[in-house]
Structure formats: C-alpha cells, structure tokens
C-alpha cells in the first residue's frame, strides 16, 4: 500500500501565489528516492527535472505518443499522464534503468543493426513497450507475429522510421530469444 502524503504550501518565486508540495518516496531504477515535489508535477517531469533521468521524453502531454513511457510497478505507463505523487511508494523503471539491467541489450542491438532508431526521440518508449511485449510472449514460449507487434506498439508514434525497422527489430529479438529458450542454435 502506498504511503500517506502530507501537503505543504510554498510561495512561488516572484508571483505571490502558493503551490502545494509534498514529500514522496519511491524506488527509481533500484534506488530509493525521497524528494519534495509540487503536487501537480508529472512523473516524467519529476524524472527529468528532479532526478536528471532524461531518457523518457515529453512530447504530446496527452499520453498518445509514448515518448514518456516508463514502468511503474512492472507495468508500462505514460509518465505524462501520471503525477509524481501518484508514484509514491511505487517501483519506477526508466529506460536508463532498463538498459543498465541488460534486459534489453539484445533488443537495443537489433534496433541499431536495423537502423530502427533514426532520430532516437521515440526509441526509449519503443524499447520500453517492446520489452513489455517480449517479456509477455517469451515467458510463455511464444513469438509474437508482426500483427501482434504492430498492435502492441500502436500507442507509440515514430515520425522517422516508417515502423518496419522497429517491427523487424522486435521480431528478430523475439525469434532469437525463443531459439535460446528452446536450445535451438539454428
């Protein structure tokens, strides 16, 4: 169960207005973090501004582009739709933490090999979302087909690649993981 939040008011600089703040404690990329934050600060802004974790991007601010994707308690979430105070007591993993864990090293290599990253703005969200799909599919021994991959990534927008290279990278990673899981070296 997540902890209780107590609100405080602080004076906004040079505006004469007050802004409510509260202390939050959460785990970010395996490290316990406690900070006082404005209650209206979005999770992605907290990660970027307060913790200098800039892999998750802010773009549409409506949850439709996927650039702000993070994991909260093991589930992919849009950091622009969630307030930092809602993550109090949660376990948050960013692209920095996911990359450091080695969980997506093979997927990232496929993105690079297939030039699926081009400008790179959408790449963290694409990798986070793809990792979720791969974990779901490969834990059951399955390999998602291209339509399943397309559907799972449909909430992530990319303006550069045309998606084919991204789908190719996810499919290749899924197939390679399935070969490893079954002991097939072909």
Decide if pLDDT at 3 tops 80: no
CATH code, 7-97: 3.10.20.30
84 CB contacts (<8 Å, ≥6 apart)? 24, 37, 41, 42, 43, 45, 46, 50
Integer Cα distance of 140 and 111 in angstroms = 23
Taking the alpha carbons at both ends of the chain, their separation in whole angstroms is 47
Is 160 in contact with 166 (CB distance < 8 Å)? no
Decide if pLDDT at 163 tops 70: yes
User: Which pTM does this prediction carry?
Assistant: 0.87
Decide if pLDDT at 16 tops 80: no
Instruction: Look up residue 24 and give its two tokens.
Output: 């939050």
Give ranges for CATH 1.10.150.120 in the chain. Answer: 102-181
Is 107 in contact with 55 (CB distance < 8 Å)? no
Q: How confident is the model at residue 1 (pLDDT cuts 50, 70, 90)?
A: very low
- pLDDT for 29-70, tens place per residue? 999 999 999 999 999 999 999 999 999 998 888 888 999 999
> Measuring CA to CA, which residue among 55, 135, 45, 48 is closest to residue 94?
55
User: Where is pLDDT greater, at 71 or 160?
Assistant: 71
Decide if pLDDT at 22 tops 60: yes
Integer Cα distance of 127 and 67 in angstroms = 10
Within 10 A of 94 (CB to CB), how many other CB atoms are there? 25
Decide if pLDDT at 5 tops 80: no
Does CATH place domain 102-181 in 1.10.10.60?
no
User: Where is pLDDT greater, at 176 or 8?
Assistant: 176
Q: Which helix (H) or strand (E) holds 23?
A: strand 18-28
Give ranges for CATH 3.10.20.30 in the chain. Answer: 7-97
- pLDDT for 91-145, tens place per residue? 999 999 999 999 999 999 999 999 998 888 899 999 999 999 999 887 666 899 9
Instruction: Look up residue 5 and give its two tokens.
Output: 């939040």
Is 37 in contact with 30 (CB distance < 8 Å)? no
Instruction: Look up residue 54 and give its two tokens.
Output: 């800039």
Integer Cα distance of 30 and 82 in angstroms = 20
């Amino acid at each position: 169960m997540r902890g209780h939040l107590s609100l405080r008011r602080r004076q906004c600089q040079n505006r004469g207005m007050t802004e409510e703040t509260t202390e939050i404690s959460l785990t970010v990329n395996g490290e316990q973090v406690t900070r006082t934050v404005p209650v209206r600060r979005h999770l992605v802004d907290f990660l970027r501004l307060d913790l200098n974790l800039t892999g998750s991007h802010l773009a549409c601010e409506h949850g439709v582009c996927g650039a702000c994707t993070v994991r909260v308690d093991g589930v992919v979430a849009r950091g622009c739709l969630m307030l930092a105070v809602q993550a109090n007591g949660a376990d948050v993993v960013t692209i920095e933490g996911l990359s450091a864990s080695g969980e997506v090293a093979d997927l990232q290599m496929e993105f690079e090999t297939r030039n699926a990253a081009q400008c790179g703005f959408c790449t963290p969200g694409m990798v986070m979302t793809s990792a979720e799909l791969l974990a779901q599919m490969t834990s059951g021994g399955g390999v998602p087909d291209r339509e399943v991959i397309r559907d799972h990534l449909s909430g992530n927008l990319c303006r550069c690649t045309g998606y084919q290279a991204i789908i190719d990278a996810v499919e290749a990673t899924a197939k390679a993981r399935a070969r490893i899981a079954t002991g097939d070296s072909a």
